[in-house]
Homo-oligomer: A and B are copies of this chain.
Amino acid sequence: MSILVVGSVALDSVETPFGRAERVLGGSANFFAAAASLFAGAQVQVVGVVGDDYPMAQLDFLAQRGVDLSGIERAPGESFFWAGRYDYDLNSRDTLETRLGVFADFQPRIPEAFRSARHVFLGNIDPELQLDVLDQVDSPELVACDTMNFWIEGSRDALMRLLPRLDILMVNDAEARQFADEPNLLKAARWIQARGPRWVVIKKGEHGAMLYDRDRVFFVPGYPLESVFDPTGAGDAFAGGFMGHLAGPRVIDGDTLRRAMVYGSATGSFAVEAFSVDRFRKLTTRDVWQRVEDFREMTFFDHDVDGDHG
């Protein structure tokens, strides 16, 4: 099944306590595609923009996995570049430099062949552009969207117009609280749901992720890693695994989305084990499946046998 992703195709320079990487593949669309393309059912279609400095050959591994890169526009100028540094516990990062380059004037143009995509993931870009993407596609079955504090503060009206057109909003816990102006996370999720999306996914980094369905909540923990190498892109790799799982031939319902949460957590956890999208280069569907099994083992407990006790 086809999944259209619109987002950034960037170059990142990253410093962590464990090393540094210079001008490596980054951006939401790259991380999303690297994760989603692991799933046999997913035909990933990327729309984005790069400058004339972009090392296109480095995207070959995505193309070899069937990712359609024909929607990546090349524009004169510099590619989106981000440089950042993580401190020793990897929970906070400093942005050292952001150069939007050609991304500053990005106007997504959805190629004719992509307009019938069944599933759409709107990476974290200006919500006006996210609305514009939805105006260009036919009638997707499922629309998921990421956003961030910058847009919640500065483009609230556009986000409010976007909400009714979404099936799933993915944000982190601070963003959910900020958007709803509500410190209680459950109430914040309900506030968002009341304005459109049936499902709200709240990402909490090392603390896991939550899925708010109409009347149920599902929780998946962060995967306990001994080596968190570079957190960059974990959220987009989460979204890629999540949407990749849903691209299989199946009904989209609460139970399917629970599994998608775990697949997303698995791909998100792989993302942080190496710089850039490197961890995905040799990863197999079997590796992902095994990690999903690990998640089940981590959260399983046997309650019934204990019903006599209370």
Contact = CB atoms under 8 A, between A and B. Distances in A.
**Which 7 residue pairs of A and B lie closest in terms of their CB atoms, listed nearest first?**
A285-B310, A219-B221, A207-B207, A89-B183, A299-B299, A258-B301, A248-B309
A225 B184 CA distance: 8
B296 A292 contact: no
B298 A219 contact: yes
Contacts of A310: 38-40, 285-286, 288-289
A227 B186 CA distance: 9
30 contacts: A40-B309, A40-B310, A41-B309, A88-B183, A90-B183, A184-B226, A184-B228, A185-B206, A185-B224, A186-B226, A187-B226, A207-B207, A208-B221, A216-B298, A218-B299, A219-B221, A219-B298, A220-B299, A220-B301, A245-B309, A248-B306, A255-B301, A258-B300, A259-B301, A259-B302, A259-B303, A259-B306, A262-B303, A289-B307, A292-B303
B298 A218 contact: yes
Interface residues of A, number: 54
Nearest to A217: B224
Interface in A46-67: none
A204 interface: yes
Copies in the complex: 2
Interface in A261-310: 261-262, 285-286, 288-289, 292-293, 296-303, 306-307, 309-310
Nearest to A297: B216
A210 interface: yes
A177 interface: yes
Interface of A: 38-41, 88-90, 177, 183-187, 204, 206-208, 210, 216-221, 224-228, 245, 248, 255, 258-259, 261-262, 285-286, 288-289, 292-293, 296-303, 306-307, 309-310
A224 B39 contact: no
A215 to B, nearest CB: 11
